[in-house]
Structure formats: C-alpha cells, structure tokens
Amino acid sequence: MKQQSNIIIQAPNNGITRIKLNEPSTYNALSLGTLKSLIKGFKNLHRDEKTRVIIIEGTGKGFSAGHNLKEINALKGKSNYKKLFDLCSELMMTIVNNNKPVIAKVHGVAFAAGCQLVATCDLALSTNDAIFCTPGVNIGLFCSTPMVALSRNVSRKKAMKMLLTGDTINAQHAKEIGLINEHFDNLKLEEEVLKLAETIASKSNKTIKIGKKAFYKQLEMPLDKAYKYTSKAMCENMMSLDAREGISAFLEKRTPNWKNK
C-alpha cells in the first residue's frame, strides 16, 4: 500500500487496484496536491502490468466535493488559476488515456470537479443516497471544465439543466441520464463494484487496452472515419495471441488461457 496524506493506493489484488481519496475533512477536495498525486498514481498504474482494473473511491462521508474553494480563494492571479484547472484537466485525460478501465465507487457527494471525475471514469456505481451536482453557477463560477466530461456522458439538455441550475440530482436520476451505471444499497455497493471489477479483470488485458483506446478515439470522429479507424483496431486485435486463443477456446468449448499478448 502506498499512502500519502491525500490519497491511498492499495497494492493490486487479483488484478484490481484501489485508489482512495483521503482528505475526509474537506470531503476529498481536489486540491493542487491531490491532483498531482492522482496524476502520478494513474500514470504509474498505466505502466503496472499487475493492474488490470482501477477502482477510485473516497474516504469519509463523500466521494469528492470538487475543488477546494479555500485554496482557490487564496491562489490569486490568472496564472495560478490556470495551473489548477490545467492540472484537473490533465487528471481527466490521464484517466481517459489510461490503458486500464477505471471504475468510480461513489458514496455521499460528488460535486463540481468531483462530479467531473465520476463522469470521466469509464464506469461508475454509487450508493442509493449519493447525490451529484455541478453547483458552480451558485457561486458565480460556471462549471466549465466539469461540463466537458458531463456533456460527453449526458444529453445536452440534461447536462445544461445541471449546469445552469446548480441543483443536485439523486442516484436514480443520475442513472437515468447516463452519469452512472447503477446504484445500490450502501452495504451492497462494495460487493457490486468488486463483482464488476473481477468480471473485467478476467478478460484479456491486451484486448481491453485495444478496446478502451478505440472507444474514446472513435467517439469524436465522423461516422465514416470512425468505421475506418475501428476496422483497423479490429485487425490489430485479430493479430493478437489472445484473439486466436479466445476464438479457439470458444470453438473448443473451454475456458480461454489469456497470455495478454
């Protein structure tokens, strides 16, 4: 286990690595220090061959309340603000570009940049009583960077309502609009997150890497270019040992023996 004051990274267990936001006194605010630690952690796990799936969660009463407003208020100056928001954007891109699937395990609040973090993760499960919000408009600071991830997961009018009103939404509504995959009773969330992570970890790591990269790259392409790009990705995938092993195992009615190559 690697523990810093702001995050905890647990050693992989059956291919599953956990990152825990560890500033419960600030509702795990995404401070400059926390952002730097998370970026470093995700980059290390990108290279870690023992990690197949990453779960990110918060300690204390909530997932993350977003940026630390006391820190923002003390920064002063456009260059300092730019450093903070650029770091946050770098974290989100580091998650998207990570070759392992990232699951957000959400309880309590996921506000502003915390909501952005949930939207950025590949998958998200929450407790039934979790609440989500992009409340920047309420303090005169529009949630423009959270808007990027939100608007790529939620329909335009649903995203705009959250951004323009700053109102909270519950887990049921978050599922309905596509912000999270599912929500569960508090005591069942851990079981369900682990079940999902174990299912993904049981697949070919090579295949998952190819698929995640292709998913995000094709999203912003015109339809014809998306098909050309994904056809190339399928060909690359077919050349892997695991594709040949998987097809053979299916035809021979046996469990595949992945080589992750």
Same domain? 177 vs 94: yes
What is the pTM assigned to this prediction?
0.95
* Burial group, residue 156, by CB count within 10 angstroms (0-12, 13-18, 19+): exposed
Tokens of 10: 């647990």
* Burial group, residue 207, by CB count within 10 angstroms (0-12, 13-18, 19+): middle
Residues, the chain, total?
261
Q: Which residue has the tokens 């109102």?
A: 167
Give a yes or no: residue 258 inside a domain. Answer: no
Radius of gyration of the chain (CA): 19
pLDDT at 261: 86
Give a yes or no: residue 257 inside a domain. Answer: no
Same domain? 115 vs 194: yes
Same domain? 54 vs 155: yes
pLDDT at 1: 60
Q: Determine contact, residues 125/106, Cβ cutoff 8 Å.
A: yes
Give the residues across from 183 on adjacent strands: 126
Give a yes or no: residue 213 inside a domain. Answer: yes
Same domain? 94 vs 216: no
CATH of the domain at 50: 3.90.226.10
Same domain? 64 vs 184: yes
Q: Determine contact, residues 34/40, Cβ cutoff 8 Å.
A: no
Give a yes or no: residue 108 inside a domain. Answer: yes
Last residue of a domain, one of 159, 174, 201: 201
CA separation for the pair 206, 254 (Å, rounded): 20
> From the first residue on, what is the mean pLDDT of each consecutive set of 10 residues in the chain (261 residues)?
79 96 95 96 96 97 95 88 94 98 98 98 98 96 96 95 97 98 97 97 94 95 96 94 91 90 86
Please provide residue 85's backbone torsions phi and psi, each rounded to the nearest 5 degrees.
Answer: -70, -30
**What is the DSSP-derived secondary structure letter of residue 28?**
S
pLDDT at 2: 61
Same domain? 144 vs 228: no
Strands 53-58 and 16-21 come out as parallel
Domain that holds residue 150: 2-201
CA separation for the pair 107, 55 (Å, rounded): 13
